[in-house]
Amino acid sequence: MSGSGSGLEIESDLHSASANTDTPSRDAGSGSTTEGLQQPISFKRKQKKRTTSRFSLSDMFPRATMFGYSPNGRKREASPMRDYDRPGGNSHSHTNPQKDGGLLDWYVEGPGRRVGYDDLTAIDWIFEYTKERQRKRLLYSNSQGITGQLRQLLDASNVWVVLVATGIAVGIIAAAIDIATDWLGDIKTGYCKNGRGGGKFYLNRNFCCWGHDDLNECLDWTPWRKALGANSTGGGYSVEYLFYVLFSVLFAACASFLVRTYAIYARHSGIPEIKTVLGGFVIRHFLGTWTLAIKSLGLCLAVASGMWLGKEGPLVHVACCCANLMMKPFDSLNRNEARKREVLSAAASAGISVAFGAPIGGVLFSLEQLSYYFPDKTMWQSFVCAMLAAVTLQAVNPFRTGKIDLYQVKYTRGWHRFEIIPFVLLGILGGLYGAFFIRLNIKIAKWRKSSSKIHPLVQVVAIAILTALINYPNIMMRTQNSELVHSLFAECDTGKDVLGLCRTGAASVGTITLLLLAAVLGFFLASITFGLDIPAGIILPSVAIGALYGRALGLTFKLWQETYPQVFLFDSCEPDVQCVTPGIYAIVGAASALGGATRMTASIVVIMFELTGALTYVIPIMIAVMLSKWCGDIFGKRGIYESWIHLNEYPFLDHRDDTAPPDVSANKVMTTVDDMTIIPATGHTIGSLQGLLEVTPYRGFPVVSDTTNPILLGYISRNELAFALKSATSAAERNLPEETQVFFAHQPFADPVETLDLRPWMDQTPITLNSNVSFLIVLRMFQRLGLRYVLFVNRGILQGLLTKKDVWSVLNGAESRRAKGLGDGVYRDGNIAEEQGLLGADREHPLASPLDRRPSL
């Protein structure tokens, strides 16, 4: 297996003390000695010395490792591992290391050394897990006695320290976002003055009017009409309308400005990128400190603007950013990309946990929607992180109600069998909503990418103005989405009916009209909002839209039952007892809309169950979610997040995708050997290889015996080749001239002092297949093993190559051909080189759109 690697490297001197080899000692932090650079590399393993006694007192308290000192009196490293030398640093051990017959053999004779991953490239899962196994092997071999057991305990506790810290941090950040969002959202309608009622300017409307059921009786809350002395009805309405629009536009513009200026990766929900990162892709700065800060601050402003977006999806991004920062002090996690993704999978559950107050739903969301590789231990880690996040948010109690979020409700009535009919209808409506929403949103996003005349900030301001102008006249849309969803979910026994949802008889017809109008307008506003350069999620808008048409259908059935109680459908209804509960229809409608948009199933049911706290409504929710997914899948298998992954051309190969790949052999789609730049094993100088790197854009090169008979010897990536050449010519290291001979195969008569052997940097065990193998087998290997590329050979002779991006292109090319009715066929021209993909140099700006970055696709 090959690819660019990053992480920890096993130093030979740490094992030499226990193996009693003749390797010279090194000072901690000084790198390898100059004498070690001049010695040739041995590719033979040395036998370890066997101990004659199975047990001795020194095994319990070994003198060689007591208090971190070696037998020669020199202080040893506290950690059993050392870091890789980074490019440009002192890397003597990387150019020509001295072997000790120990654990260095696994990468020198196998996948080769790595110097790091480039931006927008795939990781090497096999290499990363092999590296972790070797790290643990060295840790356990050097961990004897009590101090050794303590080192093992500390190493095992790293991941739990990160998860505990992440859960607490996510809970605190979520509470701060809730408090700031409520205050900013209320400032659009008025402010709390310092008065005799105990009001303070920093209080939102609920806390300013704490204890008042009727807000008109609140002494300190001052609407803008009252503050400006607009006493007339028309004047007061105009003043409040104007302030609502101005604050909405101001908040949205500030959020977009922060994102565009300081952290472009803080835009959107972040879930498509998180799915891609967890699938093994590297996106630098996506989980950085600036992204976390701007995402959190921008989310407060964007949600408070009143635009049709949510904070639930972005909170998943916030949780992953927190976990990434918490892993920085722990090299065993931070420098192993595979283990890092396990921790990120566990941390993602904390975002949904604090968003909905649903820890179990958060775990299932991470398992069903996000994770690419989810072992059993990650399930337990996800549960712990989600639980701690929810407990922290509960302890902070930002709403002072004892609830984790605003739309937790309790129901006291059940449902009847005849209501299965409207529940089925809601499921179908949810599937239709999801299908049409995805299509409309993707078309708008493609138009934005192709139209560069309108600045993204101008787009945000324009849509913010449009949203504010539409929201304010409709009382259902004027409130914040979280408050709207809570009102739609709640029963009518609470005593508060601000939105007029508890009207009965003919008066409810107007409410039904407003609900349906708000659902339709919200559908279009959410379609044009999701994808702007602001932090924006789609979960809460989908829940709100589903709750709107669900409540409307519930009110319709309630009006029908009250008007015609003698209809046979309502025989099970008891007299003088409310038979239909519209709030249940809102819950079921919200689940159906969310299922249609995201194509999730089990996690939605559990989230809604944790919101209501009643097992009674699980069956209606399951029916609606099942039908919404079936109905949505008729129009397309992809949910909204998968559609955005496809739009951005991220090389994400979902192993759960059941789409049939083209029935062709690999030689029909691979890059042939005639179209690749290959490197013969001999006949090179440092200058010639540097010239090759300058004239070719590829990220890696197959190494063959010679060009006439290209027997595959291995594969070397661009990063490792460039770093090895730079280290060899550096004055601080070997200082070799450009005329120095370079070889990739064993040369028995070569002088190791005057030549450069690059075998330690070459992957000598790449994954190879016969070129006549079915493309389906190749696809399954990419999906199951997380491969970066596969080399194809016939009897050892190189035939071609496929990268992860190539496989992605073949799948999407086949899909496009089927959509056009062209069927399967040959997908690659005979003279196409390795394209851009994962092997093409990304010379453009890293923040450029993938559609602009890869025009060849």
Mean pLDDT along residues 389-398: 90
Give the model's pLDDT for residue 818: 54
Q: What is the CATH number of the domain that holds 643?
A: 1.10.3080.10
Instruction: Give 410-425 pLDDT, tens digit per residue.
Output: 777 788 888 999 999 9
Burial 821-844 (b: 16+ CB within 10 A, else e): eeebeebbeeeebbbbbbbbebee
Q: Is residue 824 part of a domain?
A: no
Mean pLDDT of the chain: 81
d(CA 581, CA 551): 9
The answer to whether position 766 is within a domain reads no
- Percent of the residues in the chain that have a pLDDT greater than 90, as a whole number: 48
Interacting residues of 242 by C-beta distance below 8 A, sequence separation 6+: none
pLDDT band of residue 39 (cuts 50, 70, 90) is very low
- 493 and 350 share one domain: no
Q: What is the mean pLDDT of residues 19-44?
A: 39
Q: What pLDDT score was predicted for residue 240?
A: 93
Q: Could you tell me the maximum CA-CA distance found in the chain, to the nearest angstrom?
A: 102
Domain boundary among 126, 153, 180: 153
- pLDDT of the residue at 109: 62
Using DSSP's 3-state secondary structure scheme, residue 364 falls into helix
Neighbours of 297 (CB within 10 A): 21
Does the residue 2 lie in any domain? no
Please state, in angstroms and rounded to a whole number, the distance separating the CA atoms of residues 200 and 411: 35
841 or 50: which carries more pLDDT confidence?
50
478 and 580 belong to one structural domain:
yes
| pLDDT band at residue 51 using 50, 70 and 90 as cut-offs | very low
Number of folded domains that form the chain: 3
Q: Give per-residue pLDDT as tens, 189-231.
A: 999 988 777 778 888 888 888 877 666 778 888 899 888 888 8
More confident residue, 756 or 108: 756
Q: Does the pLDDT of residue 792 top 50, yes or no?
A: yes
pLDDT confidence tier of residue 363, bands split at 50, 70 and 90: very high
8 Å CB contact between 476 and 548:
yes
pLDDT at 103 over 50: no
Residues 272 and 235 occupy one common structural domain: yes
Q: Are residues 90 and 227 in the same domain?
A: no
Residue 159 makes CB contacts below 8 A (sequence gap 6+) with 333, 339, 343, 381
Mean pLDDT of 28-49: 41
The CB density around residue 195, as the number of other CB atoms within 10 Å, is 14
pLDDT at 71: 37
Does the residue 826 lie in any domain? no
Q: What is the DSSP string of 147-164?
A: HHHHHHHHHHHHHHHHHH
Q: Residue 734 and residue 720: Cα distance in Å, rounded?
A: 17
Residue 591 has pLDDT above 60, yes or no: yes
Q: How confident is the model at residue 826 (pLDDT cuts 50, 70, 90)?
A: very low
What is the reported pLDDT for 95? Answer: 37
Residues 637-664 have a mean pLDDT of 87
Query: Which of 112-121, 172-181, 820-829 has maximum average pLDDT?
Result: 172-181
CA neighbor of 730 nearest in space, from 686, 760, 679, 681? 686
Mean pLDDT across the stretch 288-301? 95
Q: Is residue 23 part of a domain?
A: yes
Residue 7 pLDDT level (bands cut at 50, 70, 90): very low
> Do 108 and 240 belong together in one domain?
no
Report if residue 748 sits inside a domain. no
Q: In what order do the strands lie in the sheet with 768-770?
A: 671-672, 797-803, 789-794, 768-770
Domain match, 118 and 218 both: no
Residue that finishes a domain, picked among 136, 153, 170: 153
The mean pLDDT value for 78-101 works out to 38
Name 48's Cβ contacts closer than 8 Å, sequence gap at least 6.
19, 101, 102
Out of 29-43, 289-303, 369-383, the most confident range is 289-303
Q: Are 192 and 242 contained in the same domain?
A: yes
Could you tell me the two tokens for 809? 């292109």
Residue with tokens 């536009």: 249
State the pLDDT confidence band at 84, using cuts at 50, 70 and 90.
very low
Give yes or no for a contact between 457 and 256, defined as CB atoms under 8 angstroms apart: yes
How many residues appear in the chain? 857
Residue-level pLDDT at 848:
38
Give me 22's structure tokens.
């003749």
In terms of pLDDT, which residue wins out, 311 or 217?
311
Contacts of 562 (CB under 8 A, 6+ apart): 504, 505
**71 and 14 assigned to the same domain:** yes
Over residues 164-175, mean pLDDT = 95
Residue 523 has pLDDT above 90, yes or no: yes
Q: Which domain holds residue 105?
A: 8-48+55-153
pLDDT at 348 > cutoff 70: yes
822 part of a folded domain: no
C-alpha closest to that of 586 among 606, 627, 556, 564: 556
For position 722, what pLDDT does the model report? 92
State the distance between the two ends of the chain, measured CA to CA, in whole angstroms: 26
Of the two residues 401 and 491, the one the predictor is more confident about is: 491
* Residue 74: predicted pLDDT: 39
Inter-residue contact 102 to 94 (CB < 8 Å): no
Do strands 190-192 and 671-672 pair parallel, antiparallel, or not at all (unpaired)?
A: unpaired
Whether residues 378 and 464 share a domain: the answer is no
pLDDT at 101 over 50: no
Task: Check residue 495 and give its pLDDT.
Answer: 62
Residue 21: band (very low, low, confident or very high) from pLDDT cuts 50, 70, 90 = very low
Q: Identity (one letter) of the amino acid at 68?
A: G
pLDDT for position 6:
36
Map residue 266 onto helix, strand or coil. helix
225-282 pLDDT per residue, tens: 888 888 888 898 999 999 999 999 999 999 999 999 999 999 999 999 999 999 999 9
Tokens of 686: 């440092």
> Per DSSP, which regions of 36-149 are E strands?
82-83
Tokens 């490297």 sit on residue: 9
Is-contact 305 182, C-beta < 8 A?
no
CA distance 200 to 194: 5
Whether residue 203 sits in one domain with residue 70: no
Place of tokens 């050449």: 725
H/E element, 799 = strand 797-803
Q: How many CA atoms lie within 13 A of 810 on its CB side?
A: 30
* Inside any domain, residue 607: yes
Q: 176 and 149 share a domain?
A: no
Please list, in sequence order, all residues whose beta carbon lies within 8 angstroms of the beta carbon of residue 335, skipping any fewer than 6 positions away. Answer: 6, 7, 8, 83, 84
CB 624 within 8 A of CB 549: no
Same domain, yes or no: 332 and 472? no
pLDDT at 821: 52
Q: Where a domain ends, among 153, 168, 199?
A: 153
The C-alpha atoms of residue 416 and residue 573 are separated, in whole angstroms, by 8
pLDDT at residue number 450: 85
